[in-house]
Structure 1
Amino acid sequence: MRQDRRSAKVGVLAVIAASAALAAHAGPFYRLQSTVSFKSQSPGWDYLAFDAARSWLFIDRRADGVTVYDTQEGKVVGQIERSEGANATTLVPDVDRGYTTNGDGSTTVFQLSTLKTLDRMKLGPSADASFYEPATGQLAFMRGDDHEITFVDARSGAVTARTKTISDELEAAAADGQGHLFVAERDRAAVLRVDARRHRVLGEWKIANCKAPTGLTIDRANHRLFIGCRGDKPVLAVLSSQTGVEVATLPIGRGNDGVAYDPETRTVFTSNGLDANLVIFSQLGADRYALAQAVTTRPIARTMALDPKTKSVFLVTAEGVVDPAKPVNHEAGPFYPNRYFPDSFTLLTYAPR
């Protein structure tokens, strides 16, 4: 009986401690702060990148190239020339450079401080995104259609290596700061671990109950990977970046394409386009997470960027339609838009208040 009472007391204390920890991490609810529309005859987009030093948001608008928006002043400050077809932009402040990833397999190199285009280099037939690996000073370009990760020296722009992969759907990546790169493999329900110094694949970690891993980011201090998984039962999978062991699985909205982590507030953000929500978790410990809030956004607002200073979250979307006369991306969703209306492209800013 005494043992039962002790166990019950311990259980109650654990619940109280967890509730107190969650309350300590809970902040104001996120709400829509502003919307900004952009002119475009054929809206399209993919990744977003944020320059915290200047409060510049780089919006990759595919056919319209990269638009640079000052989030503090609320105005467009530039357009990256020769960046048509851009899916993503990677910023490297240490060398005052930015690199776009263009769908035709090229990258547009520009000076970050002036936004002046320096070159447009061909890497291969196609490309989807790139990510910076700070320990080696390289960019890793995801070129899944060619089963390749192409490494480029951030300072010189020279190709340093081409690493072959099995996957042909290489998605988001993150670096641990020690020379390792982790890449989501959407077609293999796995994460690839890559040695950026030797340009070698070290292993592949399968993720249980995960379909189409897409968004990915890292908590370097606690060695945790956060991976957004799609499907009818979408989840945020939390893995050890040292062993690949899955330590937590949390439900999120459908159509995830973006995951962000704020180490200052120990908060994980997931942007989910099909369910039009921003699902946010508090990190109570390396292996413990709790839902902080789930905010309604707008349909197909799937990618995002986080301002680490103001804690604002930026998403983009457009008014779309499924045109039966055109191919429909059934993998993304049964009614995923295959056409967007002119001048409907919109930047959404969500802020805690």
Structure 2
Amino acid sequence: MRRFTLGAALAVFALAAANVAHARSGYRLEAAVTLNGPSPGWDYLSVDPTRDYVFIGRRKAGVTVYDAAGGRVVATIENSKDANVAALVPEVDRGFTANEDGSTTVFQLSTLKTLDRVKLGEGADAGFYEPMTGQMVFTLGDTHELVFVAARSAKITGRLPIKADELEAAAADGKGFIYVNERDKDRVAKVDVRTRKLVAEWPTPGCRLPTGLAIDRAAGRLFLGCKGPHPVLAVMNAKTGRVVTTMEIGRGNDGVVFDPAGKRVFTSNGIDGNIVVFDVVGPDRLKLASAFTTRPIARTMAFNPTTGRIYTATAEGVLDPTQPVNRRAGAFYPNRYLDDTFTLLIYAPE
């Protein structure tokens, strides 16, 4: 009869613990919340983790603020019609929308009260905060430029022309630089926000149509969600601009999130209706952690680092062949969404 040694017992315990951790690497649907309204449209989501408030850029309906802990809508940001996103800046108690008419709605984050609506230019798509300089950076694809705004005063501080039609997601490194996807050019722009100058433009070999973007500030790595014919998550060295690896993801990516505490990257992929999750096991190495289904067209996402919850959104859509179709997104991508079908999806770790 073999003796069951302490070493063997510890090995069994470690294996069991690893199996438990693996089993908990997935996510489950915790809630699907329908928010009524005509002809729904939406883009980015963001989270205030201190209150677990989800800010949803619902375009015509403005920004809806949903209390995930209380399970209710707490506000619609006044004068935020046509908003694509609400960027949150708790350091100065402010939030900034990016509105399709080229303006930003400035509101107080603590009270959700609107303070002003400031014209920036034409066709604002998104806005991102750069903490070292205290500036918001807005992407304006229609006029091919970035617009810089002081977060405390909401005053425009400068502009930077960028020769790209599709300026997508951006990420700040915390050292005064911001990186912006130039989707139509298959490039990433590196911008010095202090001087408001273009430092570099890097090609993205193996990555077509870079859209989603996140950053690992400690390791100096960018994560690019590439929604081309062969969709991948590309990892780029933020110092050299070299793509160091790619990993397969689902079709229709618009959102990439990095969790620095858990060392994980999440990609939301609307056409395939899934979220693919990777563990970061080294600066240049990812490992597939899990993938789980969401719903079709759930393409953008937000992550609450305090609770581990993931938020995404969708609606029931139809394709009318007599109307323009976004064939770059997909041959049968909806061009109309049905009234009262917009749904916030909340996923919790298992």
- After TM superposition, the score normalised by the length of structure 2 is 0.93
Counting only pairs closer than 5 Å after superposition, residues 65-144 of structure 1 correspond to structure 2 as 65-144=62-141
**CA distance 1:219–1:25, shift in 2 (3 Å):** farther
Q: Which residue of structure 2 lines up, in the alignment, with residue 159 of structure 1?
A: 156
1:344 is aligned to 2:348? no
What secondary structure, in the 3-state scheme, does the structure 2 residue paired with 1:284 have? strand
Name the amino acid aligned to 1:322.
Answer: L
Counting only pairs closer than 5 Å after superposition, residues 196-275 of structure 1 correspond to structure 2 as 196-275=193-272
Deviations 1:179-232 (A, max 9, x none): 000001100111000000000000111011111100001000111100000122
Structure 2: which 5+ runs fail to align?
Answer: 1-14
1:298 is aligned to 2:295? yes
- Give identity over the alignment, percent: 57
C-alpha contact (below 8 Å) 1:90/1:130 kept by paired residues: yes
- Looking at structure 2, the residues matched to 312 and 262 of structure 1 have their Cα atoms a distance apart, in angstroms, of 11
Name the amino acid aligned to 1:182.
Answer: Y
Q: Which residue of structure 2 lines up, in the alignment, with residue 11 of structure 1?
A: none
**CA distance 1:261–1:304, shift in 2 (3 Å):** same
What secondary structure, in the 3-state scheme, does the structure 2 residue paired with 1:315 have? strand
**Displacement, 1:23?**
7.1
Q: Which residue of structure 2 lines up, in the alignment, with residue 8 of structure 1?
A: none
- Looking at structure 1, the residues matched to 74 and 138 of structure 2 have their Cα atoms a distance apart, in angstroms, of 26
What secondary structure, in the 3-state scheme, does the structure 1 residue paired with 2:320 have? coil
**2:34 pairs with one of 28, 33, 37:** 37
**Displacement, 1:247?**
1.4
Structure 1: which 5+ runs fail to align?
Answer: 1-18
- Looking at structure 1, the residues matched to 121 and 162 of structure 2 have their Cα atoms a distance apart, in angstroms, of 15
- Looking at structure 1, the residues matched to 206 and 186 of structure 2 have their Cα atoms a distance apart, in angstroms, of 9
Deviations 1:247-278 (A, max 9, x none): 11000000000000101110000000001010
**Displacement, 1:310?**
1.2
C-alpha contact (below 8 Å) 2:29/2:347 kept by paired residues: yes
- Looking at structure 2, the residues matched to 126 and 284 of structure 1 have their Cα atoms a distance apart, in angstroms, of 39
**2:312 pairs with one of 315, 318, 321:** 315
**Displacement, 1:285?**
1.1
**Displacement, 1:28?**
3.3
- Looking at structure 2, the residues matched to 24 and 195 of structure 1 have their Cα atoms a distance apart, in angstroms, of 44
What is the aligned residue count? 335
What secondary structure, in the 3-state scheme, does the structure 2 residue paired with 1:331 have? coil
Q: Which residue of structure 2 lines up, in the alignment, with residue 276 of structure 1?
A: 273
- After TM superposition, the score normalised by the length of structure 1 is 0.93
C-alpha contact (below 8 Å) 2:25/2:289 kept by paired residues: no
What secondary structure, in the 3-state scheme, does the structure 1 residue paired with 2:91 have? helix
**Displacement, 1:245?**
1.3
**CA distance 1:319–1:221, shift in 2 (3 Å):** same
Counting only pairs closer than 5 Å after superposition, residues 182-193 of structure 1 correspond to structure 2 as 182-193=179-190
C-alpha contact (below 8 Å) 1:128/1:144 kept by paired residues: yes
- Looking at structure 2, the residues matched to 259 and 213 of structure 1 have their Cα atoms a distance apart, in angstroms, of 11
- Looking at structure 2, the residues matched to 36 and 141 of structure 1 have their Cα atoms a distance apart, in angstroms, of 30
- Looking at structure 2, the residues matched to 74 and 28 of structure 1 have their Cα atoms a distance apart, in angstroms, of 25
- Looking at structure 2, the residues matched to 99 and 123 of structure 1 have their Cα atoms a distance apart, in angstroms, of 12
- Looking at structure 2, the residues matched to 168 and 275 of structure 1 have their Cα atoms a distance apart, in angstroms, of 26
Q: CA RMSD in A?
A: 1.6
**2:61 pairs with one of 54, 64, 71:** 64
- Looking at structure 1, the residues matched to 193 and 19 of structure 2 have their Cα atoms a distance apart, in angstroms, of 40
What secondary structure, in the 3-state scheme, does the structure 2 residue paired with 1:109 have? strand
Deviations 1:269-298 (A, max 9, x none): 000000101000011111111111110110
**Displacement, 1:171?**
0.3
Name the amino acid aligned to 1:34.
Answer: A
**Displacement, 1:57?**
0.4
**1:179 pairs with one of 168, 172, 176:** 176
Q: Displaced runs of 4+ in structure 1, greater than 6 A? A: 22-25
Counting only pairs closer than 5 Å after superposition, residues 6-17 of structure 1 correspond to structure 2 as none
What secondary structure, in the 3-state scheme, does the structure 1 residue paired with 2:124 have? coil
- Looking at structure 1, the residues matched to 246 and 97 of structure 2 have their Cα atoms a distance apart, in angstroms, of 33
- Looking at structure 2, the residues matched to 129 and 94 of structure 1 have their Cα atoms a distance apart, in angstroms, of 19
C-alpha contact (below 8 Å) 2:186/2:208 kept by paired residues: yes
- Looking at structure 2, the residues matched to 96 and 51 of structure 1 have their Cα atoms a distance apart, in angstroms, of 11
C-alpha contact (below 8 Å) 1:322/1:336 kept by paired residues: yes
**Displacement, 1:24?**
9.7
- Looking at structure 1, the residues matched to 300 and 128 of structure 2 have their Cα atoms a distance apart, in angstroms, of 15
**Displacement, 1:109?**
0.5
Name the amino acid aligned to 2:45.
Answer: L
